[in-house]
């Protein structure tokens, strides 16, 4: 068998073809042509090996770079977690220190034997950072106490239906009206509510319910629209502050709530997610949650209205639009004739009879 490796070694050593023909007995001119083809095959193998080696080295470099990026991300996440935990702890400590001495006075007795329930509803305060505007909360508190004294009440339900602040992320026109940012707005309002709740507790037992979601309190990051990031909401911060400051408050908060009062199922929500018919929305909630609703308390609409839905035994099921606390009408509201006088919604439920009284306490 002809050994073309020998010819290749001679050529790589610089030996010319004439010398190879004289030295290698079997070599002919035809072998020279065959060697040329053999050499092409050898070069292809060498190129393939180089490509494989290059790809291997490239994969190693990519993996090394990937590990470096991953390490950097991990370090950043660890740092962020540590900072968030530190910030959260500092925030909670600041709240606890700030509200030392505040305590609910009336949260001692159980009034299960009562046959009527008195519900006061606050909604849509839209605080814009003007501290003089907090006077509205004081006026609302005085109106609630006036009814408490008038009827010699022992216990009340207090519903907060959202939009406690004006926010700053709905539309550009808001930026011209607000006096402070959303965080400062929330801190101011939470402070006012804590004072109101502790003062009310000197007269009655207070059961407080507050929504975790409303539209003006949403943080609409990265150009998102209404309800895109529904969990990013300053109402959660508002409720957390109150919960931390008043640990013995009988307090329930959630995105929307089902509250059982005297055997009646009450549905409490800001209602900004209602599109189209509110009654259809209530019926859809009833179906999807498998929960029969007797009375629905809705904020967001800025006016007081009572709508019969259907009768049930000895009472009517109702949709109750709660009045707004805001005394400042936006240009949007003026153009669309959407609002009414500010006030607190006051509702009385009685066993078997359902809703027996509803009125607005003007502020």
Element (H or E) spanning 318, and its range?
Answer: strand 315-321
**pLDDT at residue number 263:** 95
Task: Report pLDDT for 346.
Answer: 98
- More confident call, 7 vs 195: 195
Q: In 3-state terms, the chain is what percent helix, strand and coil (to 5)?
A: 45, 20, 35
Q: Identify the residue with better confidence: 177 or 204.
A: 204
pLDDT computed for residue 92 by the predictor = 57
At 236, is the pLDDT very low, low, confident or very high (cuts 50, 70, 90)? very high
Tokens, residue 141: 């508190």
Token pair of 146 as six digits: 């006036």
What percentage of the chain reaches a pLDDT higher than 90? Answer: 48
CA distance linking residue 180 with residue 165, whole number of Å? 10
E strand or H helix that includes residue 310: strand 305-312
CA–CA gap between residue 17 and residue 21 (Å, rounded): 6
Q: Which phi and psi angles does 232 have, rounded to 5°?
A: -85, 90
HEC secondary structure over 285-308: HHHHHCCCCCEEEECCCCCCEEEE
CATH of 106-362, one of 3.40.50.300, 3.30.70.580, 3.60.21.10, 3.40.1350.10: 3.60.21.10
Please state the rounded mean pLDDT for residues 91-104: 62
Residue 27's pLDDT is 77
- Report the Cα–Cα distance between both ends of the chain, in Å, rounded: 112
pLDDT at 241 > cutoff 80 = yes
Please tell me which residue, 108 or 152, carries the higher pLDDT value.
Answer: 152
Tokens of 159: 């519903």
Residue from 290, 239, 298, 236 nearest 267 by CA = 298
Query: Tokens 């975790």, residue?
Result: 212
> What is the structure's pLDDT at 29?
75
Q: How confident is the model at residue 32 (pLDDT cuts 50, 70, 90)?
A: confident
User: What is the bridge-based pairing of β-strands 315-321 and 305-312?
Assistant: antiparallel
The three-class DSSP label of residue 117 is strand
State residue 106's pLDDT score. 60
Quick: pLDDT tens for 205-227.
Answer: 999 999 999 988 887 654 555 55
């Amino acid at each position: 068998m002809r050994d073309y490796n020998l010819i290749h070694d001679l050529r790589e050593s610089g030996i010319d073809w004439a010398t190879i023909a004289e030295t290698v007995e079997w070599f002919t001119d035809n072998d020279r042509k065959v060697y040329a083809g053999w050499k092409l095959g050898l070069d292809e193998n060498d190129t393939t090996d180089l490509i494989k080696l290059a790809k291997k080295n490239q994969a190693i470099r990519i993996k090394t770079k990937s590990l470096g990026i991953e390490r950097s991300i991990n370090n950043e996440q660890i740092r962020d977690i540590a900072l968030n935990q530190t910030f959260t702890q500092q925030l909670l400590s600041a709240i606890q220190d700030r509200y030392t001495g505040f305590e609910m006075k009336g949260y001692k007795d159980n009034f299960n034997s009562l046959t009527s329930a008195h519900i006061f509803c606050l909604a849509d305060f839209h605080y814009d950072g003007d501290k003089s505007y907090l006077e509205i909360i004081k006026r609302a508190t005085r109106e609630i106490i006036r009814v408490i004294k008038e009827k010699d009440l022992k216990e009340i339900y207090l519903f907060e239906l959202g939009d406690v602040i004006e926010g700053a992320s709905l539309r550009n026109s808001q930026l011209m009206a607000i006096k402070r940012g959303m965080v400062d707005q929330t801190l101011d309002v939470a402070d006012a509510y804590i004072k109101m709740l502790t003062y009310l507790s000197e007269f009655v037992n207070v059961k407080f319910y507050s929504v975790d979601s409303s539209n003006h309190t949403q943080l609409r990051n990265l150009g998102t629209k209404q309800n895109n990031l529904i969990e990013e909401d300053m109402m959660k911060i508002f409720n957390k502050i109150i919960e931390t400051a008043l640990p013995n408050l009988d307090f329930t908060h959630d995105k929307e709530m089902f509250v059982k009062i005297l055997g009646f199922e009450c549905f409490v929500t800001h209602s900004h997610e209602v599109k189209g018919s509110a009654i259809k929305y209530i019926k859809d909630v009833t179906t999807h949650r498998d929960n029969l609703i007797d009375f629905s308390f809705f904020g967001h609409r800025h006016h007081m209205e009572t709508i019969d839905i259907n009768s049930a035994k000895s009472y009517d099921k109702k949709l109750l639009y709660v009045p707004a606390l805001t005394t400042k009408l936006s240009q949007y509201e003026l153009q669309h004739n959407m609002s009414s006088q500010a006030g607190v919604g006051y509702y009385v439920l009685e066993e078997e009879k359902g809703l027996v009284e509803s009125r607005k306490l003007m502020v």
